[in-house]
């Protein structure tokens, strides 16, 4: 991949756990059937590390077990025990000095469970820490409350990464809570579904009101899509099921997310992040 920028790879654990019904979890690892050809595959901590070392990403993630947001305590406790066990094995198997292996904290929205997972992992001294198991079915309020407290369990001098989150307002909540890194499918998934993020809130390009709108998706946005095409053209592409529509809107949504993060960084440097966040939330909610 000719991408001369930092690359992060996940262990594949989360993807396997989303295959409910066709997987079996033991302390050894996860056995699952390929959804493509039905082949029986084994993902162990050691294999997850080896694959990511071969890929050569800058940041690799340990194999962890991510229980659903509504899982009962014994299930979460078991996932935490296994997540710690697997992190230890991943660290032992990891050999590439030019790649940072991050640990993942589970425990849902329960701070006590988060602490039970974080303490032993922090003691293992990983170069960075991720919070997994957020945005897995719990309410946004529950997540926004638990986030800062969970982030506080992690070392201040190492990157804190919130996995799989989220909407623009969730990112700002994460930043306020001390999170440094995010990843999410939302900009591209929403882009594929004709939903655009803008400074004035979300708009749906399929709506008839955009049929004759010659303006860009977001005025002032310097991205390729906004520079070259109108809302009316994108509306037409989505109405006609042309694959260019999802591509163009994904480009804009990724540009929007990158701009939001750059603006947040600048606001932090200029010590006005709280006002920046409040301004964003007020503007987005006005549109909704
Ligand atoms: Zn744009």
User: Ligand 1 center to residue 123 CA distance, Å?
Assistant: 44
CB distance 255 to 221 below 8 Å: yes
For residue 254, the model assigns a pLDDT of 98
Q: Which residues pair with 129 in a beta bridge?
A: 103, 160
Place of tokens 């309410």: 139
* Catalytic residue IDs: 10, 183
Phi first, then psi: what are they for 107, rounded to 5°?
A: 125, 5
**β-strand pairing of 29-33 with 23-26:** antiparallel
Name the pLDDT band for 77 (thresholds 50, 70, 90).
Answer: very high
Name the pLDDT band for 287 (thresholds 50, 70, 90).
Answer: low
Q: Which residues pair with 61 in a beta bridge?
A: 102
The pTM for the full model equals 0.93
- Separation of alpha carbons 151 and 115, rounded Å: 10
Tell me the torsion sign for CA atoms 245, 247, 251, 257.
positive
Residue 16 has pLDDT above 90, yes or no: no
User: Ligand 1 center to residue 134 CA distance, Å?
Assistant: 28
Give me the mean pLDDT over the 70-88 stretch.
Answer: 94
For residue 222, the model assigns a pLDDT of 98
Tell me how far CA of residue 283 lies from CA of 33, 42, 57, 97, 210, in angstroms: 46, 48, 37, 45, 20
User: Ligand 1 center to residue 155 CA distance, Å?
Assistant: 36
For residue 38, the model assigns a pLDDT of 85
Lowest pLDDT segment from 32-41, 71-80, 168-177: 32-41
User: Ligand 1 center to residue 223 CA distance, Å?
Assistant: 4
- Across the chain, mean pLDDT equals 94
Name the pLDDT band for 208 (thresholds 50, 70, 90).
Answer: very high
Task: Give SS3 for 103.
Answer: strand
- Separation of alpha carbons 244 and 251, rounded Å: 11
């Amino acid at each position: 991949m000719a991408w001369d920028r930092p690359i992060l790879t996940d262990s594949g654990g989360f993807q396997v756990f989303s295959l409910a019904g066709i997987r079996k979890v033991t302390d050894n690892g996860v056995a699952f059937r390929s959804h493509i050809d039905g082949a029986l595959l084994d993902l162990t901590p050691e294999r997850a590390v080896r694959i990511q070392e071969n890929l050569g990403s800058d940041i690799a993630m340990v194999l962890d077990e991510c229980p659903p947001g509504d899982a009962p305590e014994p299930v979460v406790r078991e996932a935490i025990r296994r997540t710690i066990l697997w992190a230890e094995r991943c660290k032992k198997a990891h050999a590439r000095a030019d790649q940072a292996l991050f640990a993942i904290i589970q425990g849902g929205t329960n701070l006590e469970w988060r602490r039970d997972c974080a303490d032993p992992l922090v003691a293992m001294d990983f170069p960075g820490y991720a919070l997994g198991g957020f945005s897995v079915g719990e309410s946004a309020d529950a997540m926004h409350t638990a986030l800062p407290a969970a982030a506080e369990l992690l070392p201040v001098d190492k990157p804190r990464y919130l996995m799989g989150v989220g909407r623009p307002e969730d990112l700002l909540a994460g930043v306020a809570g001390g999170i440094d890194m995010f990843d999410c499918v939302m900009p591209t998934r929403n882009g594929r579904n004709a939903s655009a993020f803008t400074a004035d809130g979300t708009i749906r390009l399929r709506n008839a009101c955009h049929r004759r709108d010659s303006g860009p998706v977001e005025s002032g946005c310097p991205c390729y899509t906004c520079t070259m095409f109108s809302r009316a053209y994108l509306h037409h592409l989505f109405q006609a099921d042309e694959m260019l529509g999802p591509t163009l809107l994904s480009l804009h949504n990724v540009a929007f997310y990158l701009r939001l993060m750059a603006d947040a960084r600048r606001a932090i440097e200029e010590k006005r992040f709280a006002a920046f966040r409040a301004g964003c939330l007020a503007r987005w909610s006005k549109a909704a």
